[in-house]
Amino acid sequence: MNKLLFGFLVVVTTGLMGSSFAIGKIGLEYSSPLLLVALRFTIAGVIMAVVVKIAKKPHPQSLGEWKWLVLIGSLQTAAVMGCIFMALRTITSGETSILTFTNPLLVVVIGTLVLKIRYRLQQWLGVICGLFGVFITMGGHLDLKIGTILGFMSAVAWACATLLVKVHGHRFDTWVMTAYQMLFGGLLLFVASYILEEPFFVANALSLAILGWLAIAASIIQFSIWFYLLQTGNPERTSAFLFLAPFFGTLSGWVLLDEQLSISLIFGGLLISVGIFLVNWRSKRELKKLAS
């Protein structure tokens, strides 16, 4: 792929990832958090499910395979996004995005403890750097709010979902898995909204535009570009650019919500970004070894 096109698509997809935090926080003025994210991913999931059906992508053939899709959706969409949108009620969109995107660092820790996966020294240095960044970011606040815990829980759930996909993802077509995990996760969030909150949605031009942006641009388009990059380029190098997502999350919060950029937030976010880069980046020599 042309390097200029690759760079442009990376900026677009990570920008969409990051922007969803600030735009989602604006949307909370018109909707309860779990209902908003339930609507977002149910709409996105239905649209993508129709697309993969029309495209005749291979679907799961057994109840056991569908079970794994439900579990992935429970973690990747319901748990991750539910925690994110509830966290946005008490902490800034920048803080939430930084905490959420520590998930690549947690993948290394949980993968080592649970799956006994062996990681490189560079990746462990990235984990140490990133977790130190979390400490600095959160150390700038004397009052740790429930949103801080929820933001970190979203990262833990995302890391668990990533490892689950690593083990069982080979069973599914990538687009089918994306479509149905969003759909199942969105439906579970409707149940959670009914049980855990007093659901409401104020329908007006702005709230519907926000919902459309979250469902279409920040979900379907963002996922489509991201998976296109993973499939046409090198997955390890592409994943290394995830560090841009918390950057755009913090930047969009500053631009759209006038959120303050404290020194601890900037420096901590920078360390986390470096950590994510170290965890995911592979040299040309390492990539050649993997290819052979």
- pLDDT digit string (tens) for 31-65? 999 999 999 999 999 999 999 999 999 999 899 89
Longest distance between any two alpha carbons in the chain, whole Å: 56
Pick out the chain residues at pLDDT < 50. 142
First to last CA, the chain: 21
Q: What is the pLDDT of residue 109?
A: 85
φ, ψ at 201 (rounded to 5°)? -145, 120
Question: What region, left, alpha or beta, does residue 201 occupy, with left being phi > 0 and alpha being psi -120 to 50 degrees?
Answer: beta
| CB-based contact 99:150 (threshold 8 Å) | no
Q: What is the pLDDT of residue 144?
A: 66
Number of Cβ atoms within 10 Å of the Cβ of 3: 7
**The residue type at 219:** S
Q: What is the pLDDT of residue 142?
A: 44
Q: What is the pLDDT of residue 60?
A: 92
Q: What is the pLDDT of residue 121?
A: 86
Q: Residue 23 has which token pair?
A: 């735009």
| CB-based contact 207:27 (threshold 8 Å) | yes
Cα 272 to Cα 4: distance, rounded to the nearest angstrom: 26
Cα 269 to Cα 275: distance, rounded to the nearest angstrom: 10
Helices (H), the chain: 3-27, 33-54, 63-73, 80-87, 93-100, 103-114, 121-139, 146-168, 174-196, 205-212, 222-232, 235-240, 244-257, 263-280, 284-291
Q: What is the pLDDT of residue 285?
A: 62
Q: Residue 139 has which token pair?
A: 């150390």
